Amino acid sequence: MTKTPVTAAVCLIGDELLSGRTRDINVQQIAGYLAPLGIPVREVRIVPDEQDCIVEAVNALRSAYSYVFTTGGIGPTHDDITADAIAAAFGVGIGHHPEVFTDLQARYDKMGTEFTEARQRMARIPHGASLIENPVSGAPGFQTGNVFTLAGVPSIVQGMLQDVGHRLEHGEVVRSITVRSSGLREGDIAEQLSALNEELDGVSLGSYPWFRSVTDHGVALIARSTDQDKLKTAGERLVALVSEAGRESELLEGEAS
Amino acid sequence: MTKTPVTAAVCLIGDELLSGRTRDINVQQIAGYLAPLGIPVREVRIVPDEQDCIVEAVNALRSAYSYVFTTGGIGPTHDDITADAIAAAFGVGIGHHPEVFTDLQARYDKMGTEFTEARQRMARIPHGASLIENPVSGAPGFQTGNVFTLAGVPSIVQGMLQDVGHRLEHGEVVRSITVRSSGLREGDIAEQLSALNEELDGVSLGSYPWFRSVTDHGVALIARSTDQDKLKTAGERLVALVSEAGRESELLEGEAS
């Protein structure tokens, strides 16, 4: 019997990502954290700071994937509406979480900073959610069903993820090897690569060209598999394939991918 | 009568973006190109190299937004399936485009490179689509209805966009000003910012914290509007608001956003 694959989706929330003002790094961070747990990210959506858009995306993603990770919109300002949107998506209430409220109050008292009504917004947690620890700046994320709501600031996301992994069912870890070849063009090896992809059972091959200038371009060939032996064979075959095309290559070994 | 807003969505296609192997830059490029045309990007999706996923995303996006831009998956290798997916999404046929085929043939002949069956794949264009010129590497993108299918390599995307703008209906240009303040915390100004956001008609205010370390953190306050005068007022009010919180700030003027 084949195990049901464990899958994830990421929903990035924020006008600044859509306008291009901010270039996202959280997809890489989250995918990189989940890969060694055997949980591939299968879809990403970026939506604006608008409740309807967030609700629609979160509801579509949480029914299609095992886990959903949202980033952004849980700070103290008026455009931080993610907690309310998640409550709306799940059809539950929302209010100040007593434990979070007390913790934040103590934290601000210690800093000699007023715990304003705006800062109190960060204690608003959907009813029934469990907290996700924020080791960086105090205000927590939270888990509602299969949806994990994280901050937007990358260093805080990184911190919060440490309190997420132990809650997740792990899947089969996919590993990859990369065969990089400068000067190679995809068209030089496309037929052979396609044939090899058909031939190698349990391995998926991908081809990723880069083109920085007429003198700096090439192709990265990636093999991905849950089986280390098959991956080793695929690596050797890819190196041979590039060699037959009259090019040199460099093989980079096996990380979770 | 209010003009119907012109909107765009971006659909990034590629396993390498979902795995985190590649960090996307095309959303920024496309959003940056569309902003001066008055066309905001309202949603982004990243989907894997699988036809069903591409078809579903493209069909959802093209019915919800004025324009859709896809990137990736139009090269010569077996994992380049975007052209077929777009044809399937529109329910039209696909085949070698005579003009593209001839052009590519001539291009490869000139380089003394075999125009292989794999390279011929790049001449496959959905029936009824119009071509988008590729000034970088020859193989064109194409427009099918309101969907623009571009390459994945950023320099090629940049080149292709130059053949896109003249086809688009332009909207009202939204401009932004940014007030940056090191050391400021969102909670210091959240109430005042919310009140100002209510007060300023036709201006939208956003708050974007950064946190690199305990000594390098702050907030960027962004005002966005189609009206330059309102934007100027908003900038002055934001500078004053930060000053009242006992902080200095720097005002960055007015680009399309």
Encode burial over A203-216: b for 16+ CB neighbours within 10 A, e otherwise. Answer: bbbbbbbebeeeee
Confidence of residue B3 (pLDDT cuts 50, 70, 90): low
Facing A153 at nearest CB: one of B117, B118, B209:
B209
**Which residues from B are below 8 Å from A23, CB to CB?**
23-25, 27-28
Give the mean pLDDT of chain B: 94
Contact A79 B20 (CB under 8 A): no
- What does the alpha-carbon distance between residue A70 and residue A57 come to, in Å, rounded to a whole number? 10
Contact B157, B26 (CB under 8 A): yes
Q: How many CA atoms lie within 13 A of A105 on its CB side?
A: 8
Spatial separation of the C-alpha atoms in residues A103 and A140, rounded to whole Å:
10
Q: Which of residues 204-243 of B touch A (CB under 8 A)?
A: 205-212, 222
* Average pLDDT score over residue span B83-111: 97
The distance of A207 to chain B (nearest Cα, Å) reads 7
Q: Which residue has the tokens 């947690």?
A: A125
The whole-angstrom distance between residue A152's C-alpha and the CA centroid of its chain comes to 12
pLDDT tens-digit series, residues B140-154: 999 999 999 999 999
pLDDT 10s digits, B112-125:
999 999 999 999 99
Beta carbons of A117 and B191 less than 8 angstroms apart: yes
Chain A residue with minimum CA distance to B212: A155
Q: Which residue of A has its CA nearest to B35?
A: A19
Could you give the C-alpha distances from B242 to B205, B249, B250, in angstroms and in order?
A: 14, 7, 10
Of B18, B20, B41, the CB nearest to A42: B18
Q: Count CA atoms within 13 Å of residue B16 on its CB side.
A: 24
* Residue A135, min C-alpha distance to chain B (Å): 13
Which of B45, B122, B114 is closest to B81 using CA atoms?
B122
At residue A1, the pLDDT reads 43
- Scan residues 115-174 of B and list those with Cβ closer than 8 Å to A: 116-119, 121, 136-137, 153, 155-156
- In tens, the pLDDT along A90-108 reads 999 999 999 999 999 999 9
State the average pLDDT over residues A155-175: 96
pLDDT band at B6 (very low <50, low <70, confident <90, very high): very high
Interface check A40 vs B, CB under 8 A: yes
Predicted pLDDT of residue B114:
92
pLDDT category of residue B1 using cuts at 50, 70 and 90? very low
Q: Which of B204, B194, B151 is nearest to A18 (CA)?
A: B204
Q: Is B72 on the interface with A (CB under 8 A)?
A: no
Residues of A in contact with B78 (CB under 8 A): 190, 193-194, 197, 205, 207
Question: A132-153: buried (b, 16+ CB within 10 Å) or exposed (e) per residue?
Answer: bebebbbbbbbbbebbbbbbbb
Give all domains of chain B, ordered by start, each with its CATH number: 8-167 (3.40.980.10), 175-256 (3.30.70.260)
Burial per residue of A163-196, b for 16 or more beta-carbon CB atoms within 10 angstroms, e otherwise: bbeeebeebebbbbbbbbbeebbbbbbbbbbbeb
Closest C-alpha among B92, B82, B11 to residue B50: B82
Question: Which residue of A40, A45, A207 is in closest CB contact with B45?
Answer: A45
Cβ <8 Å between A75 and B206: no
Count of CB pairs separated by less than 8 Å, A with B: 188
8 A C-beta contact, residue B144 and residue B86? yes
Q: What is the pLDDT of residue A3?
A: 60
Give the model confidence (pLDDT) of A237-253 as tens digits. Answer: 999 999 999 999 999 87
Q: What is the pLDDT of residues A139-148, one digit of tens each?
A: 999 999 999 9
